[in-house]
Amino acid sequence: MDNSIRIGLQQRVLPTYRAPFVETLGELSGRQLSVFAGQPLAAEAIATTQTLVHARYFPATNQHFLNPGSPFYLCRQSGLIKWLQSEQPQILIVEANPRYLSTPEAVDWMHRQGRPVLGWGLGAPHLGGGVLNRLRKAERDHFLKRLDGVIAYSQRGAAEYAAAGFPPERVFVAHNAAVHRPAAPLANPGTFAEKPVILFVGRLQARKRLEILFEACAALPARLQPDLVIVGDGPARPEFEQAAQRIYPAARFAGARHGPDLDAYFAAADLFVLPGTGGLAVQQAMAAGLPVIVAQGDGTQDDLARPAAGWQIPPDNLQALSSTLHLALSDRTRLQAMGRAAFQIVAEEINLETMALAFLKAIQQTLGHWDSP
Domain with CATH 3.40.50.2000 in the chain: 7-177+351-371, 197-348
Tens of pLDDT, residues 17-72: 899 999 999 999 998 999 999 999 988 878 899 999 999 999 999 999 998 888 78
The closest alpha carbon to 47, from 75, 18, 70, belongs to: 18
Would you list the DSSP string of 222-242?
Answer: GGGPPEEEEE---TTHHHHHH
Using only C-alpha atoms, what is the Rg of the chain? 22
Residue 8 — very low, low, confident or very high, per pLDDT cuts 50/70/90?
very high
Query: Residue 252's CB: how many other CB atoms inside 10 A?
Result: 11
Angle between helices 80-87 and 103-112 (to 10 degrees): 30
**pLDDT for 76 beyond 50:** yes
- Name the burial class of residue 147, with classes exposed (0-12), middle (13-18) and buried (19+) by CB atoms within 10 angstroms of its CB: buried
Q: Give the CA-trace dihedral at 50, 115, 21, 349, to 10 degrees.
A: 170
What rounded mean pLDDT belongs to the chain? 91
Give the residue-averaged pLDDT of 110-127: 93
The closest alpha carbon to 53, from 80, 78, 24, 74, belongs to: 24
Angle between helices 19-28 and 352-371 (to 10 degrees): 50
Percent of the chain with pLDDT over 70: 95
The CA-atom distances, in angstroms, between 192 and each of 67, 262, 333, 349 are: 45, 19, 10, 28
**pLDDT for 9 beyond 90:** yes
Write the class of the CATH domain 197-348. alpha beta
7-177+351-371 to CATH, choices 3.40.50.300, 3.40.50.2000, 3.40.50.720, 3.90.1150.10 = 3.40.50.2000
The structure's pTM equals 0.90
Give the residue-averaged pLDDT of 312-323: 93
If one compares 47 and 300, the residue with the highest pLDDT of the two is 47
The backbone torsions φ and ψ at residue 33, rounded to the nearest 5 degrees and listed phi first, read -105, 130
Q: What is the pLDDT of residue 207?
A: 86
